[in-house]
Amino acid sequence: MWYWLFKYVFMGPLLSLLGRPKVQGLEHVPDNGAVILASNHLAVADSFYLPLVVKRRITFLAKSEYFTGTGLKGWFQRWFYTVAGQVPIDRTDADSAQAALHTAERILSQGKLLGMYPEGTRSPDGRLYKGKTGLARLALKTGVPVIPVAMVGTDVVNPPGSKMWRFGRVEVRFGKPMDFSRFEGLEGNRFIERAVIDEIVYELMQLSGQEYVDLYAADVKNAEESGQPARRIPAAAAG
């Protein structure tokens, strides 16, 4: 109930006023059945504007830090992200990543819409970064279609690093469903998984018009914090 109240009563009207969202290709999202919505990631606002324009409820996998705060603020944040359809995942190591995929499989087995960000984190500069293969592994294992979604302008309405929201124009562009059944039985093959996620990211690049960078966004962020240049990872070694 809270999800729909936030969408249509508490937050939806304000988001619509701030971003005046324009939608393209919404007909590609089916009225029922399991689907992965694979979106680029410019700002926190992505996780609000995407549910705003889709009639069905979307479940996102969110970093566990959103759910571990203390005190009244921590309680409110945990409650808010829960009712907003966010499911906490731990991304600290390989075991945690596998547990996150199991959670995602469970959500899809219930016929739900699952929202994922192939880049793994927000873009540090508005460009499109290399995709993580977890989404590809999930798509191959479950066989559900993947719909690429390009968010445009959310970083203007909600500038990264700023607590202030501004007026702007948000566009949400849905691409055609992508079917990877031709790779049936090949899940676990890292070369196939890399090919699949690269295909998804390519569609995102076409939809969004973003410049592509063959680096992981998280590595670029870490390099900026440490003052060291980010290292390009060869495709054969990338995960």
Distance separating alpha carbons of residues 208 and 11, to the nearest angstrom? 25
Q: Is the dihedral of CA 208, 214, 220, 221 positive or negative?
A: positive
What total of structural domains would you count in the chain?
1
Q: Is residue 67 part of a domain?
A: yes
The pLDDT value given to residue 91: 60
Strand partners, 97: none
Q: What is the per-residue pLDDT across 145-190, written as a single tens digit (0 to 9) for each?
A: 999 999 999 999 999 888 889 999 999 999 999 999 999 888 889 9
Domain CATH number, residue 184: 3.40.1130.10
Tell me the residue range of the domain where 49 lies: 1-226
Q: Is residue 232 part of a domain?
A: no
Average pLDDT of the segment spanning 94-123 = 87
Average pLDDT of the segment spanning 93-100 = 68
Single out the residue of 168, 177, 151 nearest to residue 52, CA to CA.
151
Confidence of residue 6 (pLDDT cuts 50, 70, 90): confident
Q: Is residue 234 part of a domain?
A: no
Q: What CA–CA distances, in Å, run from 48 to 12, 13, 218? A: 9, 12, 22
This prediction's pTM = 0.87
Distance separating alpha carbons of residues 196 and 190, to the nearest angstrom? 10
